[in-house]
Amino acid sequence: MLTDVGEPSCYKETMLASDHAKWEHAMQSELDSIHKNGTWDLVPLPKDRKALPCKWVYKYKYTSDKTSPKYKARLVAKGFKQEQGVDFDEIFSPIVKMTTLRMLLALAANQDLELVQMDVKTAFLHGDLDEEIYMEQPKGYEVSSK
């Protein structure tokens, strides 16, 4: 089932779409970023561990002129499958508080400053983990024996 704006909701839909080549390029770009940043190593799964499933998330990104969309594919681990005390001890999500954002916008308006928005493509990949986390390989990009 496609989303409201026509984005595929799973890998199978993406491969059946008429623009599947553009989605494949977006997925490969995501994997290239992951490999370039040394985010993971492909290893055999230890017998006493379980691997988290993962999912591709697809999104059209439009520029201000709204002409042709940029295809974005993100690989996400299904962390909700983890159990507290077994797979992790604490949760932390670095997000900005709305009061901080409002203060920055008010300051920019007051000082007549220009605001620029940017997207940090792989910001989440730069966090350090103390635990070993195992994730299944993404659909369409499996390497046998790993």
Residue 100 pLDDT > 70: yes
Listed in sequence order, the residues at least 6 apart from 37 whose beta carbon sits closer than 8 Å to its beta carbon are: 122, 125, 126
CB distance 136 to 81 below 8 Å = no
| Predicted local distance difference test score (pLDDT) of residue 120 | 64
Look over the chain and give the mean of its residue pLDDT values, rounded to a whole number. Answer: 82
| Predicted local distance difference test score (pLDDT) of residue 127 | 62
Rounded CA-CA distance 58/48 in Å is 33
The pTM is what?
0.68
Chain segment 27-59, per-residue pLDDT in tens: 999 998 888 888 888 888 888 888 888 999 999
Domain ranges within the chain, ordered by starting residue: 11-126
Chain segment 70-93, per-residue pLDDT in tens: 899 998 888 776 777 666 666 666
Residue 3 pLDDT > 60: no
Residue 2 pLDDT > 70: no
Listed in sequence order, the residues at least 6 apart from 79 whose beta carbon sits closer than 8 Å to its beta carbon are: 52
Helices (H), 1-146: 11-16, 20-36, 98-110
